[in-house]
Amino acid sequence: MKLTGVELRRIRMPLVAPFRTSFGTESRREVLLLRVVTADAEGWGECVAMAEPRYSAEYVDAAADVLRRFLVPALAERQRLDASAVAPALAPFAGHRMAKAALELAVLDAELRAEGRSLGHALGAVRDRVPCGVSVGIMGSVAELLDAVGGYLDAGYVRIKLKIEPGWDVEPVRAVRERFGDDVPLQVDANTAYTLADARHLARLDPFDLLLIEQPLAEDDLLGHVRLARIIRTPVCLDESITSARAAAAAITLGACSIVNIKPGRVGGYLEARRIHDVCAAHGVPVWAGGMLETGLGRAANVALAALPNFTLPGDTSASDRYYRTDVTPPFVLDGGHLAVPTGPGIGVDPVPAELDAVTTSTEWLPL
């Protein structure tokens, strides 16, 4: 392919309810979308960076800046381009994995649309629908939490994930187990909120038969996770620590985790996400698909990824209405606790022009 231009589109999406984690509360998503244009097709990508650098060092304004000044021009220098060449072309620029992932996805979407192939087929999907879990934020009270969890179970979600932090961990988990029983698949996500000094406290979660505890310690503390995994019985899953297939191999070899969360934006793209999947499969380590409150564009790609064979745990691939009253694509709707894997060319979905325009705050065209 030869790129003719890239559109940077900023949109603002109000959430149906504030979403609180250990690193902050969001009531809306400021999203950067990319539209890549070639002679034969267009492709869409979604950058999952947040408005502020709290979850990671990346944030939306910085992503737009690095794309405009460095990443898009680097691709413009290529006379011919396919998705597999994007990461090598962008490798001279350190970091900015979320921005790189969005650009790679847009190129990959355009390439597959031109070929008439779906993203799921290209990645190696083996299922036509994937089981869906839901991530439940930190609430103002246990009663509020129980109401929320009950609503998600009634909606059909097959796994519940509770966000935790010091002061909001053992008692909320206990309350959910007591109300809904031991048969509900349940896991917790700390988003790096603890230190190794909290190991004995985190061991108090062991009796609740959790699927996993996600990223309890700092992302650069692999050795701390190794020690924690020897103290607690709950399986340790790494999220923020896994930035590449190489990082995944190192964490597994050290014994820092027994489960891996894969978020394509965090690791630089869907092709690297597939490599992480393959590394984990080779080591007998199950994986599951994380989420970053994506619109239907990013959600479509995540669902396709989650259909690969080693995604054996339900992911955070929730239905559109979990976060948004109106999506920018036709909504993803839960069906028996599952979402269908898109089968159309590329990511398999297109923006609804009226819905996209309604939430757009700015557009910028970068001719090449």
**pLDDT of amino acid 18:** 87
Q: Does 25 have pLDDT greater than 90?
A: no
Coil vs helix vs strand at 109: helix
Task: Give pLDDT tens digits for 264-301.
Answer: 999 999 999 999 999 999 999 999 999 999 999 999 99
Q: How far apart are CA 301 and CA 289, in angstroms?
A: 11
Question: Taking the domains of the chain in order of start, what are their residue ranges?
Answer: 3-116+350-367, 121-340
- Cβ–Cβ < 8 Å for 44, 187: no
> Residue 343 and residue 49: Cα distance in Å, rounded?
27
E strands, the chain, in order: 3-21, 24-38, 42-47, 129-131, 133-136, 159-163, 186-189, 213-214, 236-238, 259-262, 287-289, 338-340, 360-367
Whether 163 is a known active-site residue: answer yes
What digits encode the pLDDT tens for the residues 182-233?
999 999 999 999 999 999 999 999 999 999 999 999 999 999 999 999 999 9
Give the strands of the sheet with 159-163, arranged side by side.
133-136, 159-163, 186-189, 213-214, 236-238, 259-262, 287-289
d(C-alpha 111, C-alpha 356), whole Å? 23
- Residue 77, pLDDT score: 84
The whole-number average pLDDT for the span 87-116 is 97
- Per-residue pLDDT band for 238 (boundaries 50, 70, 90) equals very high
* Best CA proximity match to 219, nearest among 251, 253, 197, 181: 251
Q: What is the CATH number of domain 3-116+350-367?
A: 3.30.390.10
More confident residue, 62 or 54: 62
Superfamily of domain 121-340: Enolase-like C-terminal domain (3.20.20.120)
The pLDDT tens digits of the residues spanning 138-184 come to 999 999 999 999 999 999 999 999 999 999 999 999 999 999 999 99
CA distance 319 to 144: 21
Q: What percent of the chain clears pLDDT 70, i.e. is strictly above it?
A: 100
Q: What is the mean pLDDT of residues 20-43?
A: 92
Which of the two residues, 26 and 356, has the higher pLDDT score? 356
Beta bridge pairs of residue 363: 9
Q: Is beta strand 287-289 parallel, antiparallel or unpaired with respect to 42-47?
A: unpaired
Can you tell me the distance from the alpha carbon of 43 to that of 105, in angstroms, rounded to the nearest whole number?
Answer: 8
> How confident is the prediction for the chain on average, in pLDDT?
96
The catalytic residue among 2, 100, 161, 163 is 163
What confidence tens digit (pLDDT) does each residue in 297-344 have?
A: 999 999 999 999 999 999 999 999 999 999 999 999 999 999 999 999
Residue in this structure with the two tokens 């309350």, named with its chain if needed = 175
84 vs 78: CA distance, rounded Å: 13
Checking if the pLDDT of 79 tops 80, the result is: no
Q: What is the DSSP string of 85-102?
A: GHHHHHTTS-S-HHHHHH
pLDDT at site 22 = 81
Helix, strand, or coil (residue 300): helix
Share of the chain above pLDDT 90, in %: 94
